[in-house]
Structure 1
Amino acid sequence: MDDCVPVAIPMEVNLKLSSEDPSPLVDSTKYKKLVGMLIYLTTTRFDICFAVGVLSRFTNMPHENHWKQGMRVLRYLKGTLNYGITYGHGEILAGYCDSDWVGDYDARRPVSGYCFSLGSGIISWNSKKQATVALSSIEAEYKAACVAACEAVWMRRILADLGVPIHDATVLNCDSQSCMAIAKNPVFHARTKHIEIHYQYIRELIEDGVIELEYCPTNENGADIFTKALGSVQHSGHLFQLGLGPRQ
C-alpha cells in the first residue's frame, strides 16, 4: 500500500457491512492481522475507531468487501501520516456523547461513543457497540450518556489523585434533548422502567452536581465521529474540534 491513492475519510458514508455479505470469503488469518494492527493504532488515532470497530465484527468469516474496507482505512492513513493530537494547558474537563441507534446491522444494536478533553486535544475516547438492543433512539442516547458519565466520574477521581481536582460539574454535551429531559426530570421514571437499573446512575450524578448535561447540535457534537461514518466536511471539522491534525 506504499503507492496507494489516499482518501479523505476512513469509511464510506452509509456503508452497510454485514456478516451475510455476498462477496467471496478471504483469508481470515490475514484479515485478523490487519484488524489487529489497526486496533493498535486506535490508541493514538481516534479518527479510525469507528471504522476499526466495524471491521472487527467480521474476523471469524471475513468477506472480500470487508477486506476492501480495511484497505480503505490504510488509504486514509496514507494521506494522514503526519496527523497527531495537539495538547495544550487546560484544567476544564468536558466531554461529548452520542449514539447511533442501529449501528450494528447484524445484531441491531446501537453504537455509543464519547470523548473527553481538558481544554485542548481529547484525552479519553471510546467507540463501542452497546450490550443490549435499544427499543428507541432515545434509549440508545440515554445509555450512551450514562456510560460517558461513568467515564467522567472515573476521570475526575484520577485527576484528583494527580493533584488536579475538579470542583465544578463536568459538562457533558449531548445532541438529544429527549435524553436530557429523561435524565433531569424524575417525572419520566414510569417511561424508563424497561431500561436497566444501572443506566439510571446518571440521574444521581446530575442531582449531586457532578455531571451537567448540555445540548449541542449534531454538527457540533464531536462524539459523532465515534458512532458513524461521516462525510469529508463533517469528518475534518470534528478532527479539528477534537485536536487532531497535521503536526507542526
Structure 2
Amino acid sequence: MDTAKSMPTPMISALKLTSDGAEHFQDPKLYREIVGSLQYLTISRPDIAFSVNKVSQYMHSPTIEHWKAVKRRYIVGTVSVGIKFQKCTNLRLLAFADADWAGDLEDRKSVTGYCVYLGSNLVSWRSNKQAKVSRSSTEAEYRSMAASQSELVSIQYLLKELRIPQSIAPTIYCDNQSACSLAANPVLHTRCKHMKIDLHCLREMVN
C-alpha cells in the first residue's frame, strides 16, 4: 500500500454501500482493525469523517465491496494533511451544517454533518447517521442544524469558563432555505409537530 498510487478523494461520490448483494469478506477481524484505526484518525482528519462513518456501519458483516471502500488509497497521498491552527483576533463562532437526506439505501436514514470554526480555526466536526427517518430534506437539514446548535452551546460554555468573551452571537450556515425559515418562524405547522423539540431548541437560540 505504501507504494500504491493515491486517490484524490476519500470515497467515490456515487458509491452506495449496502449489506446485501456482494460476497462476504473472508477476514472480518482485519476489516474491524483497519476501520478502528481510521476512526482514531478522524480525531485530526475531518476530511475522512463521512467515509469512515459509512464503512463503520458494516463492521458486523463486511463484504468485498465494503473492503474495497476501506482500502481506497486516499490516506497514502495525504499523510501530511492535518488541521492547521493559526493565531486570530476574531474569535467568533461559526457553524456550517448539512445533511445527506435519506442517503442510506437500507433504512433511508439521513446523515448529519457539521463543522464549527472559532475564528479561522476548525475546532469541532461531526458526521453520523440520524436516529430517526426524516420525511423531507427540510427535516433532515433542520436536525443537522439542531445538532450543530447543541455543539455551539457546549463550546460557548467552555469559552465562558476559559474567560474568553463572545461579543458576537454564533452563526449557523445552512444551504436549505426551508430549514432556515423554519428556525425563524414562530408558528409550529402540523407537518413539523414530530420534530418540535428540535424546533423549540434551535428557535430559542435564534431568538
TM range (shorter): over 0.9
Aligned position for 2:51: 51
Aligned position for 1:17: 17
The structure where helix makes up a greater share of residues is 1
Three-state SS of the structure 2 residue aligned to 1:186 is coil
Counterparts of 2:62 and 2:117, CA distance in 1 = 35
Amino acid at match of 1:85: I
Following superposition, the deviation at residue 24 of structure 1 comes to 3.5
Amino acid at match of 1:137: S
Aligned position for 2:76: 78
Amino acid at match of 1:134: S
Following superposition, the deviation at residue 85 of structure 1 comes to 1.3
CA contact (8 A) 1:98 1:175 kept: yes
The structure-2 alpha-carbon separation of the partners of 1:157 and 1:76, relative to structure 1 and needing over 3 Å to count, comes to: same
5+ residue gaps, structure 2, are: none
Q: How does 1:1-248 map to 2 (within 5 A)?
A: 1-72=1-72, 75-90=73-88, 91-207=91-207
Deviation >6 Å, runs of 4+: none
TM-score, structure 2 normalization = 0.95
The RMSD of aligned alpha carbons is 1.3
CA contact (8 A) 2:109 2:130 kept: yes
Work out the percentage of aligned pairs sharing the same amino acid.
Answer: 40
Work out which structure has the larger RCO, using CA pairs closer than 8 Å and 6 or more positions apart in sequence: 1
Aligned position for 1:221: none
CA contact (8 A) 1:103 1:111 kept: yes
Three-state SS of the structure 1 residue aligned to 2:195 is coil
TM-score, structure 1 normalization = 0.79
CA deviation vs aligned residue, 1:201-222 (integer Å, no higher than 9, x gap): 0011111xxxxxxxxxxxxxxx
The number of residues matched between the two structures is 205
5+ residue gaps, structure 1, are: 208-248
The structure-2 alpha-carbon separation of the partners of 1:26 and 1:165, relative to structure 1 and needing over 3 Å to count, comes to: farther
Amino acid at match of 1:82: S
CA contact (8 A) 1:146 1:200 kept: no
CA contact (8 A) 2:35 2:52 kept: yes
Following superposition, the deviation at residue 198 of structure 1 comes to 4.2
* Greater CA drift, 158-167 or 48-57: 158-167
Amino acid at match of 1:78: V
CA contact (8 A) 1:89 1:119 kept: no
Amino acid at match of 1:135: R
Amino acid at match of 1:178: S
CA contact (8 A) 2:188 2:196 kept: no
Following superposition, the deviation at residue 112 of structure 1 comes to 0.5
CA deviation vs aligned residue, 1:41-72 (integer Å, no higher than 9, x gap): 00001100001000001001100110111110
Following superposition, the deviation at residue 196 of structure 1 comes to 4.8
